[in-house]
Structure 1
Amino acid sequence: MPHTTDAEYLAEPKPDLTIGFLLMKSFTLASVAGLVESLRFAADESFSSRQIFCRWEWMTCDNQPVTASCGLPVSPTATLDFSTRWDYFVVAGGLLEETRQPPQWLLEALRALHARNIPIITLCSGAFVAGNAGLLDGRHCAIHFTTRDEFRLRFPKAIPVIDKTYIKDGGIISCPGGTAIDLAADLIRQHCGLVRSQKVLKYLLVEEPAAPVKKVPPQNMLNEPDVYENDLVNKVIEFMKHHLDSPVPLADVAGFAGVTFRQLNLIFSKCTGYSAAVYWRRMRLEHARKLMADSSNSINAIAAATGFADASHLIAWFRKQYGETPSSFRKRRRVVERLVKE
């Protein structure tokens, strides 16, 4: 597809949705295909694959063909031009070797796009490109579980999440990979309407998600208010929630919050009644107790999932916090459940 100039935009009816794809070297094909195939079904009244209601362009960093991680070569359909008026700009990553250290000019261009309020979508390891540009600092980001540890080391100010198909936060839409059909369906629903979104899901053989059932929010694990008056405390608590399995040093948490270690503890003590370290440990213990109640996982596995050094470490703190061992807690739970059933 040739590059669309401003004059052509004025001469042609504007599509409902336009997306520019920047394909990094060794990009992952599945997520790109899921997104663009969804657009294809929504772009035409029939199934002729005409780009009428939705338009997209393929671009590469050097305007030369690029090869996907599976070996499929793709030629660009447009010259990379960041002044184009896309509704969304996609950074499609794949193998980490190609996204760990993106060129400086690309990072500057992404910052400029973000400043123009053009939403940026990261697919697969495209999140590493956005992270290098500083666009994920203080923001939640959906990443693939295999890259979580490295992502945390490289971008300690970001908040990685591994159990979401995509996340929107601060003008960045992160998608860890997979087919990206959930993301595509929501974009189409938002810009093209429910009917065309349903058409996409039907012809891709994907079931329409059921309407969400309204639920009573669960009681907060520490019986504290859902939101504190201090924005910094709320920000750090969100960070803690997403690092329950491997808590980072509190000095690094303070750095993430932009305060000193001493200031962090003073603010936490004033707002919550606990130091930051105690609050975080209680949060991890509550999560461990929930896992003990809701799963048959071993104590060792639960300790690993909640950031304790080993089972002994978890047992010691559990007894101190709740006055019983994990095994006695589980035994008591089984007795209560049996009585309820009877």
Structure 2
Amino acid sequence: MIEHLRHPQGAPEKLVAQLDQDRPGSGSQRKGGSELSIGILLWPRFPLLSLSGLTDALRHAADIGDQSRPIRCQWKVLGTPGQRVLSSSGLDVPVDSDLSHPERFDYIAVIGGLMDTLDQVPKSYTAFLHQAAAAKVPLIGLCTGSFVLARNGLMEGRTACVHAYHGDDWKQRFPNLRFVTNSDFLIDKDRITCAGGISVLELAIHLIGLHCGPDRAGKVVHQMTVAKNTSSSFVDRRKALGYASSSNRRLHEAVMLMEKHMAEPLEIEAIAQLVGTSKRQLERIFVVETRNTPAQFYRQVRLRFGRWLLVSSDRQIGEIAFECGFADAPHFIRQFQSAFGLSPGKLRRALEKDELADLL
């Protein structure tokens, strides 16, 4: 699982920190207010699991509850509009956005297909990948997408994560390129490669946690995992959430309750009762697993939601304050300033001047 992951040449947090600094036109214009935006290129005979794992994780993180609106996260299948791409299972998927302006996305993800179809794409696809690389947009290779990147000279000086089944294929095709087979995914500078299959969920949750916060990652784990009383799920909850231990059912349920009650926050004692424990025990769980008390974690969730509303809407600050559960605008402003180092008003002004990347 993720504990075997290695990050050569720098931690993933540094990559995320650089996303809004390395490219012109970043900020709200690029992402439309979303916190995580991914453009997806599908190669012929691609695996549906890789596409559905990525997009389903994003849609759970993107909205409140199970409404599935692409708000806080966005994704597009890129290619030639009007065409459809055939998957390895025989089902096809429509293209919904053209190959232009890669800088509008945080990442461009390539989902490779069967090995004998890797060269069966228009030249515009590979040209777009080089355009994205030139614009310093990080590239993701899912399943045999790592082979696509390598074939196009986009893995030079980097290590790839390859499924063990394709280890010999990699050796034969790219004898001079490093690879590993003992990880779910690997982040090497501005290239991210993933073995495919269920490992795609691990990567999606990791990126959601980095960009949108541990509460969003926790929601994805909660929504996409059936078993509640065991840590033997297909998703490694501990790393996905960024907690010391995240297999605790009460923690997940408490976070879900916080999300559902942001405008009118619940008392921590009430949350404890609803998840079947005492206030003192719930506080112990949160401190051990998140290094925050439930009240501190709850406030962070509401403030992040408020920051997103400031970036993605034109609502008045007072209205946002009430929607995030603060008694009045001055209280919200003080808490916001303390959490993010700038006031909501300054954030809005920077947004209007397209200076958001320098502040966030």
Question: Shorter-chain TM-score: what band?
Answer: 0.5 to 0.7
Structure 1 unaligned segments of length 5 or more: list them: 1-5, 214-342
- Residue 73 of structure 1 aligns with which residue? 92
Which of 110, 126, 135 is residue 129 of structure 2 equivalent to? 110
The one-letter code sitting in structure 1 at the alignment partner of 2:144 is S
Work out the number of aligned pairs and report it. 206
- Residue 269 of structure 1 aligns with which residue? none
Query: C-alpha displacement at 1:144, in angstroms?
Result: 1.4
CA distance in 2, matches of 1:128, 1:99: 8
Q: Is 1:201 the equivalent of 2:221?
A: yes
Greater relative contact order, per chain length (Cα 8 Å cut-off, separation 6+): 2
CA deviation map 1:216-257 (0-9, x unaligned): xxxxxxxxxxxxxxxxxxxxxxxxxxxxxxxxxxxxxxxxxx
8 Å CA contact retained: 2:112, 2:142: yes
CA deviation map 1:40-81 (0-9, x unaligned): 100001211101100111123575111110111111111222
CA distance in 2, matches of 1:101, 1:148: 22
Distance change in 2, residues 1:132/1:12 (3 Å)? closer
Distance change in 2, residues 1:70/1:204 (3 Å)? same
8 Å CA contact retained: 1:60, 1:66: no
Distance change in 2, residues 1:170/1:176 (3 Å)? same
The one-letter code sitting in structure 1 at the alignment partner of 2:162 is I
- Secondary structure of 1:110 counterpart: helix
Distance change in 2, residues 1:103/1:209 (3 Å)? same
Which of 59, 66, 91 is residue 47 of structure 1 equivalent to? 66
- Secondary structure of 1:41 counterpart: helix
- Residue 91 of structure 1 aligns with which residue? 110
8 Å CA contact retained: 2:88, 2:114: yes
- Secondary structure of 1:35 counterpart: helix
Distance change in 2, residues 1:82/1:128 (3 Å)? farther
8 Å CA contact retained: 2:85, 2:93: yes
8 Å CA contact retained: 2:47, 2:88: yes
CA distance in 2, matches of 1:43, 1:193: 12
- Secondary structure of 1:131 counterpart: helix
Structure 2 unaligned segments of length 5 or more: list them: 1-24, 226-234, 246-360
Give 1 or 2 for the bigger CA radius of gyration: 1
- Residue 169 of structure 2 aligns with which residue? 150
CA distance in 2, matches of 1:122, 1:207: 21
Query: C-alpha displacement at 1:100, in angstroms?
Result: 4.8
8 Å CA contact retained: 1:137, 1:155: no
Which of 58, 70, 91 is residue 77 of structure 2 equivalent to? 58
- Residue 211 of structure 2 aligns with which residue? 191
Q: Please, what TM-score do these two structures have when normalized by structure 1? A: 0.56
The one-letter code sitting in structure 2 at the alignment partner of 1:195 is D
8 Å CA contact retained: 2:81, 2:96: no
Distance change in 2, residues 1:13/1:135 (3 Å)? closer
8 Å CA contact retained: 2:30, 2:105: no
- Secondary structure of 2:148 counterpart: helix
- Secondary structure of 1:168 counterpart: strand
User: Over aligned residues, Cα RMSD in angstroms?
Assistant: 2.4
CA deviation map 1:238-288 (0-9, x unaligned): xxxxxxxxxxxxxxxxxxxxxxxxxxxxxxxxxxxxxxxxxxxxxxxxxxx
Distance change in 2, residues 1:128/1:62 (3 Å)? farther
Distance change in 2, residues 1:13/1:143 (3 Å)? closer
